[in-house]
Amino acid sequence: MRDKGESEQDVLEQLSVYRARDTSYDRVLSAMCTHPHPIAVRAHEMFMETNLGDAGLFRGAHELEHEAIAMLGGMLGDPGVSGYITTGGTESNIQAIRAARNSAISDDPNIVVSESAHFSFDKIADLLRVDVRKAELDEEFRVDPACVEAQIDDNTVALVGIAGTTEFGQIDPIRELSDMAVERRIFLHVDAAFGAFVIPFLDKPYDFDFRLPGVSSMTADPHKMGLCTIPAGGLLFRDPSHLQELRTHTPYLTIDTQYSLSGTRSGGVTAAAYAVMRHMGLEGYRNTVKYCMKMTGRLVDRVREFGVEPLIDPVMNVVVLDVGDTAKVRTKMAQKGWYTSITRSPLALRLVIMPHLSEKRLEEFLDDLELVCREL
């Protein structure tokens, strides 16, 4: 740091230079985040300095958190859920499994997750010292319930289903997992980090949320398809006693209990999550999902015209394409300024169709993809 500070204008100019190096979302088909809704930005600014780590000082922000959690719960089948606004899917998953582990009695705990689980579960294995067992997928890239069942033993403290897998946008058979969880009395966590703001608005209904009796907790991220500012995740528990497993005593603060992983945390994102959900309403999200699914359908129709097939018919706005030499196609598309992603197994081209992608950009992307695929 310099001894004498620089003028505000100088610093802002420097920031603009750095900001110009960032990618703008319009050519990004690899991200699960998008432009936040303007009302989320406004709300975030209003509550930026509030600290939910000392919630007694910021009663307004604290109340907004309860409201935001109730709205998330209402969308997912239980407005009476307990929880808090996390920093994202990773924190929600960590905390859900921590609660499950703490509420169970085992010296050698394990959890059974789907092979398609997000890499946050690898962090969980390391942080929480639980054995993370991975169950195989069926040919449609959903977890195979029989494989989950085969991995369960007396030390299994949680099952995890994914509703909206990171790589394929697939939905695990949550009803079967819920039945298993009820029968075996095991905690069931549903990771709907991406899917929470998509699945309720698809034409086809899916059972994936608290309407299923076995679902104990859910991850549902406003900062993905919820159009909120970053970092905003949702952690929801059906049974308030599970949230209590995360309780830390904070005697010298204005409120003597904290549940979050982080201590000091801005109420900005909480206000943003509240504001964007109030403003969008279910109808707003339904329209967003309708747009993304229309674009997804257009993409699939068009690639089929030049001989490229998706690995599965897209369930949500994630498309995985068999383009032959995936690495080469990805590199060539990157040279044309497009950000794409891949799946690990099998290796294929992964595209996420977020609300920031315009119809015009999609057509340009498809023209370039056709050229690249035909040149192979």
Q: What is the dihedral of CA 247, 250, 69, 92, to 10 degrees?
A: -60
**Distances from the Cα of 338 to the Cα of 239, 281, 316, angstroms:** 44, 32, 21
Residue 162 or 373: which CB sits closer to ligand 0PR? 162
Residue 352 or 373: which CB sits closer to ligand 0PR? 352
Q: Is 326 left (phi over 0), alpha (psi -120 to 50) or beta?
A: alpha
Q: Is 288 left (phi over 0), alpha (psi -120 to 50) or beta?
A: alpha
Planar angle of CA 7, 11, 12, nearest 5 degrees: 115
Minimal distance in Å, beta carbon 337 to ligand 0PR? Answer: 16
Residue 58 or 338: which CB sits closer to ligand 0PR? 338
- Residue 167's Cβ-count burial label (10 Å; 0-12, 13-18, 19+) is buried
Residue 166 or 326: which CB sits closer to ligand 0PR? 166
Minimal distance in Å, beta carbon 326 to ligand 0PR? Answer: 17
* Distance (Å, whole) CA 286 – CA 292: 10
Residue 35 or 302: which CB sits closer to ligand 0PR? 35
Minimal distance in Å, beta carbon 306 to ligand 0PR? Answer: 27
Two tokens, residue 229: 């500012």
The residue type of 31 is A
Residue 58 or 164: which CB sits closer to ligand 0PR? 164
Minimal distance in Å, beta carbon 25 to ligand 0PR? Answer: 9
Minimal distance in Å, beta carbon 193 to ligand 0PR? Answer: 3
Q: Which helix (H) or strand (E) holds 218?
A: strand 217-219
Minimal distance in Å, beta carbon 347 to ligand 0PR? Answer: 16
Minimal distance in Å, beta carbon 349 to ligand 0PR? Answer: 15
- Residue 72's Cβ-count burial label (10 Å; 0-12, 13-18, 19+) is buried
Minimal distance in Å, beta carbon 196 to ligand 0PR? Answer: 10
Q: List the strands of the sheet with 82-86, edge to edge.
A: 82-86, 233-237, 217-219, 187-191, 156-162, 110-114, 131-135
Residue 302 or 361: which CB sits closer to ligand 0PR? 361
Q: Are 89 and 120 in contact (CB under 8 A)?
A: yes
Q: Which helix (H) or strand (E) holds 322?
A: strand 318-322
- Residue 339's Cβ-count burial label (10 Å; 0-12, 13-18, 19+) is middle
Task: Identify the bridge partners of residue 190 per DSSP, sorted by sequence position.
Answer: 161, 218
Residue 88 or 214: which CB sits closer to ligand 0PR? 88
Planar angle of CA 342, 112, 185, nearest 5 degrees: 145
DSSP 45-71: HHHTT-BGGGGGG-HHHHHHHHHHHHH
Residue 118 or 238: which CB sits closer to ligand 0PR? 118
Enumerate binding residues for ligand 0PR (CB under 6 A). 31-33, 88-90, 93, 118, 120, 162, 164, 166, 191, 193-194, 221, 233
Minimal distance in Å, beta carbon 256 to ligand 0PR? Answer: 29
